[in-house]
Amino acid sequence: MRTARVAHAGAVHHAVPHDRGVQLADGRVLPESEVVWLPPVDMAAGGTIVALGLNYADHVKELARELTVTTKDEPLVFFKTPGALVGHRGHTVRPAGVQFMHYECELAVVIGRPARRVKAADAMAHVAGYTVCNDYAVRDYLENWYRPNLRVKNRDRATALGPWLVSADEVPDPQALALRTLVNGQVRQQGHTSNMVHGVAELIEYLSGFMTLAPGDVILTGTPEGVVNVEVGDEVVCEIDGVGRLVNHIVAPA
């Protein structure tokens, strides 16, 4: 099952895919362009966004000259606030004067059942579903090449999420998914979730070992190699096979 959250005519609606766009819960069918896409997970009532850095072996190699970490390190984990999120077809600001801002196509895992001290063998029973994430980073602001800080990774509307929340039963193996990023229609990043250093089940075991994961929490699982600079006016599309196609546009500061 695939569900979305959209805004239309001053109200927020749940929606499902339709041949002519999206179908709202009240039965109305609208073109995709006539709704405002919201992040498919409602963080208004609370919830934690847990993000992973350097979780693809090829991306670690890509940044090897800038790093003092190895693939044997514990997961590099940081948090985001709900204000960092923007939905499908949303706009993300490139700050004035920066030299290097790049996309990061990521598989996002949405927790469906509380998880505390869960073993990897049981972890997938706690997953509600998956969505696509594009987690932009401004490399100019890094304090210590690639140890994320707030200005790099918690910028307003700089983490695109959506369009659909795809239920876990539609994704039998989250480690068997191809992902790619297109900038203005050109493929610039390609990867595969099998190349994660720490897979989804392992991440849930690790995180739930010291914090309780609650329904609605989101885990962003990192990006593969192939990150490049993006500019104002660029259309950036992140695709994950079986999960969705997330569109975002880069804009100048208002």
Q: Each residue of 8-29: pLDDT tens digit?
A: 999 999 999 999 999 999 999 9
The model carries a pTM of 0.93
Q: What are φ and ψ of residue 196, in 5° steps? A: -60, 140
Query: Could you tell me if 49 and 174 lie in one domain?
Result: yes
Query: Could you tell me if 28 and 119 lie in one domain?
Result: no
- 39 pLDDT band, cuts 50/70/90, is very high
Question: Is pLDDT at 70 greater than 60 in this prediction?
Answer: no
Query: Could you tell me if 160 and 223 lie in one domain?
Result: yes
Task: Estimate the share of the chain in helix, then strand, then coil, as percent rounded to the nearest 5.
Answer: 15, 40, 40
Write down the pLDDT at residue 147. 63
β-strands 29-30, 127-135 pairing: unpaired
Question: Is pLDDT at 74 greater than 90 in this prediction?
Answer: no
Query: Could you tell me if 45 and 162 lie in one domain?
Result: yes
Query: Could you tell me if 191 and 212 lie in one domain?
Result: yes
Residues 93, 177, 38, 155, CA torsion sign: negative
- 68 pLDDT band, cuts 50/70/90, is low
Query: Could you tell me if 172 and 137 lie in one domain?
Result: yes
Provide the domain count of the chain: 2
CATH number of residue 75's parent domain: 3.90.850.10
| Per-residue model confidence as pLDDT tens digits over 135-149 | 999 989 887 655 667
Query: Could you tell me if 98 and 33 lie in one domain?
Result: no
Query: Could you tell me if 127 and 21 lie in one domain?
Result: no
The parent domain of residue 201 ranges over: 41-251
Mean residue pLDDT across the chain:
93
Are the CB atoms for 106 and 131 separated by under 8 Å? no
Query: Could you tell me if 111 and 180 lie in one domain?
Result: yes
Query: Could you tell me if 17 and 97 lie in one domain?
Result: no
Write down the pLDDT at residue 142. 81
